[in-house]
Amino acid sequence: MNKTEVLAALQPLTELASKRIDHTPSTKVMVADRGIVLKPGNGSHHLELSKEGAKSMMDYIGLPIGTAEALKPDTFSRVATELLEAHKSYQVITKQGEVIQFGKPVKDAISVHPEKVLKVAEKALGNIDYYRVCMPRVDTGMIELLGDKEEAVARGDLIKAGVFLEFSPIGTIKPMVQSYAMRLACTNGATSNSVLREFTFTGGEGGEGDNIWQWYRKSIKEAYRGFSKIVTSYQKMIEEGVRPEDRAMMLEALLKQAGIKGMFAEAVRAQALETPPQNAFDMHNLITWASSHLLTEPAQIRRALTAGAHFSDETAHRTACPVCHRSN
């Protein structure tokens, strides 16, 4: 992918807006002719809920849709308002003026413009190949990008260095940078959380303050420099053999952790039967192969990448194996 294609894929995110609502005694959920309406109670305009937004509110307040539909309009308004009041404050995402999602406000969340992120990444790394871009949530962008560095985990098995970015243009999550690696033998992508973890912003300048971009430049460079550490952890995984009698149990535990089910899980099992995993690195590659070759839903891809990162993390492995749950 090129930069233009990445920005085009993220365009839907720029059409959204977010609003934090602090519940007050005058905040109300109402049923109108046009559907469900939220009255913020702070002098703001009433917000209409789309069908998607109404379902999101029900999920957020824990009111089953079947129960809601059985209530009279006045009763529903009172019940929904009381349940929403228990959350004290919440964040709504709107599209073309309609609420499409409810959620809990995230402390230190910050808005990050996609084009500015890419400019910072290009300055930090130089040549960039955008491997994949998607939206794991309606409000979140996820980009996997690669640089020029390559190293061999084993003879003939090269991996390429990169960076993984996750952010929200409307300020609903904390920006995140992780190390990223691409196994060139089978184009398996994987993140590593051994170098950088989730960003906590305390500068207080919002999305356009220069300190956020200084953090991005530093973090992207640090994550990219952590490539050698990733290679070393993979090499140690090669030395961690898997006994034939343990393969099935370990694979099932990894599939569960990665949230891989149904036909996708069957495909991974078939791959494992065709080429039985000999060590922890082979097991890791089965999950990264699924994230790159099988899964299509962004949220599923994100979960599989997270599971792979946890499995390859040296500290987690040293403390207790996240797959077989035995101390090493």
The last residue of a domain, from among 47, 79, 103: 103
The last residue of a domain, from among 103, 123, 157: 103
- 217 within a domain of the structure (yes/no): no
- 276 within a domain of the structure (yes/no): yes
> What type of residue is 215?
W
Regarding whether 252 and 159 lie in a shared domain, the answer is: yes
Regarding whether 252 and 189 lie in a shared domain, the answer is: yes
- 203 within a domain of the structure (yes/no): no
Separation CA 294–CA 290 (nearest Å): 5
- 48 within a domain of the structure (yes/no): yes
Please give the pLDDT value at position 159. Answer: 92
Instruction: Please give the structure tokens belonging to residue 124.
Output: 């930090």
Query: Parallel, antiparallel, or unpaired for β 47-49 and 98-103?
Result: parallel
Considering only residues 169 and 203, tell me which one the structure prediction assigns the higher pLDDT.
169
Regarding whether 148 and 254 lie in a shared domain, the answer is: yes
The last residue of a domain, from among 81, 103, 125: 103
What's the pLDDT tens digit per position in 27-46?
999 998 889 999 998 777 89
How many other C-beta atoms lie within 10 A of the C-beta of residue 74? 10
Across residues 309-317, what is the average pLDDT?
69
Query: Parallel, antiparallel, or unpaired for β 157-167 and 140-154?
Result: antiparallel
Please give the pLDDT value at position 190. Answer: 82
Q: Nearest 10 degrees: CA dihedral of 170, 173, 178, 180?
A: -60
Please give the pLDDT value at position 320. Answer: 40
Supply the range of the domain harboring residue 139.
Answer: 113-198+222-328
Nearest to 271 by CA among 250, 256, 281, 285: 285
Regarding whether 90 and 117 lie in a shared domain, the answer is: no
- 300 within a domain of the structure (yes/no): yes
Three-class DSSP category at 149: strand
Separation CA 196–CA 86 (nearest Å): 35
Nearest to 160 by CA among 239, 224, 235, 220: 224
Please give the pLDDT value at position 323. Answer: 46
pLDDT over 60 at 80, yes or no: yes
Regarding whether 174 and 49 lie in a shared domain, the answer is: no
- 250 within a domain of the structure (yes/no): yes
Task: Give the chain's domain count.
Answer: 2
- 88 within a domain of the structure (yes/no): yes
- 209 within a domain of the structure (yes/no): no
Regarding whether 154 and 7 lie in a shared domain, the answer is: no
Regarding whether 264 and 184 lie in a shared domain, the answer is: yes
The model's confidence at residue 109, banded by pLDDT at 50, 70 and 90, is confident
